[in-house]
Amino acid sequence: MELTAELVALVERMEPDPGPEPGTTEHTNADFAQMAEAVLAQHDPEHLWVFAYGSLIWNPEFQVVEQRRAVAAGWHRSFCLKLTRWRGTRELPALMLALDRGGTCIGIAFRLPPGDKHGQIVRLLQREIDANPPTNVPRWIEVSTKEGRLKVLAFVALRDGIAYAGKRPLPKSRVCSRVQRGTGGRQRSTPSIRSASWKSTASVIATSGEFKD
């Protein structure tokens, strides 16, 4: 049976946002500004490149002036982040894609417009970072492209973070079931898994041409 929007609508429901989990808080604007300063203190590039491997590919929410197919060695996409709000609840946590250590991830490196790198990073943090303290964190990584290697900003799973679901020996069917059941105040996880498998694969692989590291 194919997973369709009509089938998703049969089980879709909206849940009130329960707020941050105990032991966590919301980030303030000052928090995001401070994190952006710390990111630039680690590396202040002439051109700001961002590595996209999931929803950032088809919904980046920032202006792109150049894009390249990129391979991140030492990282792989994994449903390793547990969400108990937005796409999940306390009773039915959802799983979200994140970059976890090991393996290889094919994605797209986006170059952002010049100027206001701090403001651009703040907006990325507001989009990608979860609760405070966060589990999905910014990190500079190196990727390979046909044009050469790039240092890019990526968001990776912090293995000792509160929301890290870990590497679990679950059959793929059980992972998909857990992702599909997740529902919260922002959106269901089911469209995310469909988008992750259809859109990112098609965009990254089918339209990018040959690539050799």
Residue 37 designated active-site: no
Amino acid letter, residue 85: R
In this structure, are strands 136-145 and 49-52 parallel, antiparallel, or unpaired?
Answer: unpaired
| Catalytic residue, candidates 6, 12, 26, 128 | 128
Q: Is-contact 150 140, C-beta < 8 A? A: no
CA dihedral for 48, 72, 101, 97, sign (positive or negative): positive
Which residues, including other chains, have CB under 8 Å from residue 184's CB and lie 6 or more apart? 15, 17, 83, 84, 85, 86, 87, 88, 89, 94
**What's the CA gap between 75 and 61, in Å, rounded?**
24
**DSSP, res 164:** B
Whose structure tokens read 């965009």? 203
Give catalytic residues, as residue numbers.
Answer: 128
